[in-house]
A and B are shown apart, each in its own frame.
Chain A
C-alpha cells in the first residue's frame, strides 16, 4: 500500500495559543490515503477532523509534522485536491454554470473549453436544465450537486469531502450518497482517492473502504477499521450492524471508575472533564427511553429511535456516564440504579438527584466554591469566564460556562441574571458547596 500512497500525514500536531496558554487541537496524527481508497475520517465534534482535512489540502499549515503528496512535501494549496464543503460554498451571485466555470478559470482553460467542461459535469451530476439557475433557486441537495460538479470539474486526484451530506435533509442526503457511490464504484469520475470527514458512524460504514476513528481532547487517531463490505451495502445486514456497533464501542469507550470519569477541578493538576454539550431536557428523554426499554440499549439503535445523529447520541451517553446515570460498554448503554430512579422520579425529585450528582463534578464544585468566596455570593459572568479560560480555549470556556449555568439552573444550585450578567447562589445553597 505504501507504493501507491497518495497522501501521507506524518506526526501532524496542531496547537494554538490563547493568552499565555497553549491548547493542543491535534496531536501526532499519522494517516495514509492510498490510490483508489475511500477513507472516512470519523470522530465527535471538536476532534479536529475538519482541521485535518484542511491540513491535508494545504489550506492550513500544521504546527508540526509533514504532509507528503506522492512522496513530495506539500507547499501551499495542493493543486491536485479539491473540497466539497458542508455549506456548499457556492458563489451566490453566479449561476450554476458560472459556479463550475469559475473553478476552471485559474487553470488556464479557454472560455470555450470552460463552457464545454461545465456542460459535461453539470450533466454528470444530473442538473441539465438548471445551468442558468442561481444557487438560491435550488434545493439543498441540488446545491450540493453543484458543489460536486465544481469539485470534479478540475479533475482532482484527491477529492476531499467535509461532511458534505450533513446540511441536507434525510432524503436528499441518501440519494446523493447513492449517486456519489455509483460514480465512484463505476469509475466515471477522474478521482483517485476520496477522503471524507463525517461524524455519522452509519455514513462512514455505508460509504468508505476504511474508517480512521478519531477522539477529542486532544484530537488523535484511536482506531483504523477496514470496511470490507461489497457495494451496494445493505444497512440491515448483520455484518453492517456489527461494524457500526464496533465503531460505537470504539467511540463511546467504556465507563471508567468515577474519579477518572469526572476528572479534576480547573487549576488543579490533571484534566478537567468538559461538560458534554447537551440540553438537560434531551438527556431526560434519553434516560426515560432507556428505562422504558428495561434493558441495555444499543447506542446505534438510539439514533433511529430518537431521530438524532450518532454524534448527539454519543454526547448524551457521555453526559449520562459523567453524572453516574448510566454505564457504557461495548456500544451499549445501561442505566445505573440512580439513573433508573431519576428516570422514574417526578420533577422535584429529579432536580434533587441531579443536584446531588452535579455537586460531585469538579467543574461545578469549583464554580460553587468561587461563588461562595465571592462578595454577596455574586460573581460576574466575565470573571468566571476569565478563570475558566485558563483551562479551556476561549470558545470552549464560554460553552462550558453556559452549560454549567444551564445545568446549575436545572438543579437549582445557582442562578444567573442575564441583565447584569451575574451568577449568584440560590439562597439555600450558600455555604453548601461541599
Chain B
C-alpha cells in the first residue's frame, strides 16, 4: 500500500500564485483553440463511425487496440519528457517557458480540447486516422506534464555531492545521465508514469466514444464497446467489457508496473534499508530465469560498454560552473517569431470572441456557476466518506487487509468507462443527468483524496497518538487537535488534483448521447460540448477560455492559499 500512496503525493509543488507568464501561456492556449476552431469549421458535417461489435470474441482485439493507443501516447510522452525536461534543466532560456507552461497546462480541462483537436485533424487527415491521432494526442496531453515536471525536478535536485563526485571523476554528460541523473530520477519518473497511465485510461475511454452531433468519431476499442453495450442496455456485454478492462489494467499492473517498481527500488536515495520493500512474483521469475540473465550479460552489458566508449569519443568531461547562459541568435529569432505569431493569433481570437452575443456570455457565467456547484458537491461527498474510511484503513489492519484489494481494483477502473453504465440506470430518475454528472466527477476524483488521507493518517507519529490517548482526549478532541490538522496537507494535496479532475470530467458528464438521443444539463462542460455539436465555434472558444481562466484562478487564488497554509503550518516534520 505504501507504494500506492506515493504516486499521489508529487502533485503539490505545481501550485503557485499568479504570475505574468500565466498570461502568456493563456494567450497561447487561446490561439491554439482558435486555430483548431478555424480548422474545425471546415470539417465534414457528417461522419460515420465504425460499427462496434458486441461479440465477446472481439474483445481481445479491442483491448489490444486500446492498449496500443495508450502505449503509443506513453512512448511519445516519455520521449517528450526526457528531452524537454533535460533541455529545461540545462538551458535557462528553455526553463523560462517550461514551468509556466506545465503549470497552466495541468490545470487546463484537456477534454475541452478534444472536439477541437478531433475536428481540426479531421480536415487534414482521413477520418479514421484523424480519430486515432486525436486520441493519441489527447492522451499525450494528459500524460506528459507531470512526468516532465518530475524529471525536471529530479534533474535540478540531484544531490550536490554526487554531482561533484561525477565531476571530480571526470564523467561526461552521457555517463552522468546514465549513472547519476537517470537513476536519481527513475523512481519519480516511474510513479508519475503509473499516474499518467491511470489518467490516460480516463481520456482514452472518452476519446474512443466521442460523438458530436452528426459526427461519429468512435474508435474500435474497449471504451466504445462499453458505450455501445450500455447504449443497447446489453448487461451481458457490459459485464464482458468491464471484466476485460479490469483484466487488462490488473494485468499491466502485475506484469509491467509492479516488476518495474521492484526493480527501481534500488534507486532510492535513502541510506537506510526500508522496512517494507515492494515485491512482485513476476519480477522474481524474471530474476531467476536463465534467459533473462543471459540477455543482461550478453546483450545489454556489451551494448552499454560500446555506447560508453562511443560517447567517450564524442563528449568531453563535464566542466562544472560553465552552464550556457548565453542566448543564441537562433533562440532569439524563434522567440520573436513565436511572439509575432502569438500576437496575430490573439488578435484573431479576440475577433472571434467579439461574435459571441452578450446573452451567451451570461449563459457561460451561469454555466460556470452550475458546474462549480457540481464540482463542490462532488468534493464534499468525496471528503465526507474518504476521511473516515481513510483513517480507518490506515489505523486498522484488519479492515485494510480485506478492503484494500477491492479499493485498488475499483480505483483502477477509469470513471469514463463506467459512465455509460451509470447513465443506463440514472436517466430514468428525476434529475438523472444532474446526479449522474456529480457521480462521474466523484468516481474520477475520490480516489486521489482517499489515498492521500490514508497516507496522511499513516504518517501521524505514534508518540502523538499515545500522548493523546494518555491525556484522555475525547474522540472529538482527538480529531480536532490531532487527526484533522495532521491530515490537512494531505487532504489539500489530494483535493487540488481531485478538483482539477472534476472540472475536466464536466465535459463528458454534462452532455451525453445515449440510446440515440441527446441529454444535457446546464453547465460549462455541456456548453462546450453543445457548441461543438452545433458548430458554434465562437461560443466554443469563449466557453473553453472561460473554463480555463476559472480553473486557473481557482487554483491560484483558492488552492494556492490553502496549500501555503498546509505547507507552513500543518506540517509534521519527519
Interface of A with B (CB < 8 Å)? 54, 57, 59-61, 76-77, 79, 81-83, 85-89, 91-94, 102-103, 105-108, 111, 134-137, 143, 150, 154, 419
Contacts and interface: CB of A to CB of B under 8 A. Distances in A.
Nearest to A138: B271
A91 B267 CA distance: 9
A108 B317 CA distance: 12
Interface string B138-172: 00000000000000000000010110110111111
B270 A83 contact: no
A108 B170 CA distance: 11
Interface stretch (B175-183, B237-245, B380-388, B453-461): B175-183
Given A87-B161, A89-B165, A102-B169, 4 more contacts: A85-B161, A91-B183, A94-B179, A108-B312
B22 interface: no
A54 B271 contact: no
Given A54-B164, A89-B162, A91-B162, A106 B172 contact: yes
Contacts of B268: 92
Contacts of B319: 76-77
B317 A92 contact: no
A92 B162 CA distance: 10
B569 A89 contact: no
Contacts of A102: 169, 175, 179
Nearest to B318: A77
Contact of A93 (B165, B183, B273, B320): B183
A85 B271 contact: no
B321 interface: yes
B168 A107 contact: no
- The 9 A-B pairs at the shortest CB distance, nearest first, are namely A89-B161, A89-B165, A106-B170, A103-B169, A93-B183, A87-B161, A93-B267, A76-B319, A136-B271
Nearest to A92: B269
B573 interface: no
Contacts of B231: none
Contact of A107 (B161, B170, B183, B270): B170
7 contacts: A54-B164, A59-B164, A77-B319, A91-B180, A92-B270, A105-B175, A106-B175
Interface in B348-377: none
Contacts, number: 78
Contact of B320 (A77, A94, A137): A77
A66 B183 CA distance: 36
A88 B159 CA distance: 12
B270 A59 contact: no
Nearest to A85: B161
B266 interface: yes
A65 B493 CA distance: 50
A106 B183 CA distance: 18
A61 B267 CA distance: 32
A88 B270 CA distance: 13
B192 to A, nearest CB: 19
B120 to A, nearest CB: 44
A158 to B, nearest CB: 11
Contacts of A88: 161
A119 to B, nearest CB: 18
In which size bucket is the chain B interface? 20 to 34
B167 A106 contact: no
Contacts of B164: 54, 59, 83, 85, 89
A154 B269 CA distance: 25
A135 B161 CA distance: 15
A287 to B, nearest CB: 31
A61 B319 CA distance: 10
Interface centre among A54, A86, A419 (most CB of B within 10 A): A54
B336 interface: no
Contacts of A150: 169
Nearest to A136: B271
Interface in B251-274: 266-273
A91 B308 CA distance: 18
A82 B168 CA distance: 6
A234 to B, nearest CB: 34
B168 A77 contact: yes
Contacts of A103: 169
A261 to B, nearest CB: 36
B94 to A, nearest CB: 25
Contacts of A136: 270-273
A48 to B, nearest CB: 16
B305 interface: yes
B183 to A, nearest CB: 5
A56 to B, nearest CB: 11
Nearest to B270: A136
Contacts of A135: 271
A82 B169 CA distance: 7
Given A89-B161, A92-B271, A61 B169 contact: no
A419 B168 contact: no
Nearest to A61: B321
Contacts of B183: 91, 93
Interface centre among A106, A137, A150 (most CB of B within 10 A): A106
Nearest to A77: B167
Interface centre among B168, B170, B305, B321 (most CB of A within 10 A): B168
A39 B569 CA distance: 48
A343 B279 CA distance: 59
A279 B305 CA distance: 54
A133 to B, nearest CB: 11
Given A77-B167, A81-B168, A137 B317 contact: no
A106 B317 contact: yes
Contacts of B162: 89, 91
A106 B169 contact: yes
A107 to B, nearest CB: 7
Interface centre among B159, B271, B319 (most CB of A within 10 A): B271
Contacts of B180: 91
A57 B159 CA distance: 19
A77 B166 CA distance: 11
Contacts of A91: 162, 165, 179-180, 183
B267 to A, nearest CB: 5
Contacts of B171: 106
Contact of A106 (B267, B305, B312): B312
A76 B317 contact: yes
B317 A77 contact: yes
A195 to B, nearest CB: 13
Contacts of A76: 317, 319
Contacts of A94: 179
A383 B180 CA distance: 40
A123 to B, nearest CB: 20
Nearest to B162: A89
A69 to B, nearest CB: 14
Contacts of A85: 161, 164-165
A102 B308 CA distance: 11
Nearest to A57: B168
A136 to B, nearest CB: 5
A79 to B, nearest CB: 6
Interface string B536-574: 000000000000000000000000000000000100000
Contacts of B161: 85-89
Nearest to B179: A102
B260 to A, nearest CB: 15
B321 A60 contact: yes
B568 to A, nearest CB: 9
A94 B269 CA distance: 11
A136 B161 CA distance: 16
B32 to A, nearest CB: 39
Contacts of B320: 59-60, 77
Given A106-B175, A136-B272, A93 B266 contact: yes
A247 to B, nearest CB: 28
A154 B165 CA distance: 13
A154 B168 CA distance: 11
A87 B164 CA distance: 11
A154 B170 CA distance: 11
Interface string B313-334: 0000101110000000000000
